[in-house]
Chains A and B, each alone.
Chain A
Amino acid sequence: MTMKKFILKSVSLILAISLLSAQNFSIMASTTTAAVEFEESVFSYDDDLLLAELSELDELDAYIEANEGTTFDELTNENSPLVANIESTASPMGMADQSGEPPLGIPSFLWGCVFGVVGLVIVYIMTDSDMDQTKKAMWGCVASTAVSVVLYMVVWGAWASAVDAAY
């Protein structure tokens, strides 16, 4: 009898967790977008063109590697042609300062190589002019999280009592 009760509670618990997980995952899954498929060539680039475009930078890079500690100012003072077309400011994350609006309104440095797609999406949402909608979405997220936490606590409580009853 106790075993049957335990199995029933366990099944209920698994179903509750499945339902809760499905609910959580559907938050993003519901935002369906138009189906699109790319050709394999989209996921490639012209390596030779890249090398050609970066040749001046590669030349300067090789010089700095061979002459460790050399600074931009030192090269400028020597009238080195290596820095004739190079900015004097650092841009470690990529995307040097440029005039005009950054792409999608996202701060330039955040378009750099090191930030993930999720980060860019978050930044876009946070920098979106429609702040009211953004705030509503945030409150929706907070409410959803609170409900999830309460449900999880209830479910875990039920599980703990089921285990106690079984043993």
Chain B
Amino acid sequence: MSVRILYFAGLREAFGCPGENLDLPAAVSNVGALRALLVAQGRDLLASAKNLRCAVNQEMAAADTPVADGDEVAFFPPVTGG
């Protein structure tokens, strides 16, 4: 199972990339597990970032939101537009 990860704002800047493609082990089936996997792979900021937000296929998501093959999963800080 493969997903497209996107990072925005301070996360994009800190990681030095706008995103990455990731092959997921079968055990990783929701946002919370995916976040933990990325942290284990060295994306420490995903663990420490304050009020981290996540969207799956461009809809706001929670830790228990399912992640499936081909999904677009974005991580970003609280929004500050307007």
**Chains A and B are bound partners:** no
Interface positions of A (Cβ within 8 A of B): none
Interface positions of B (Cβ within 8 A of A): none
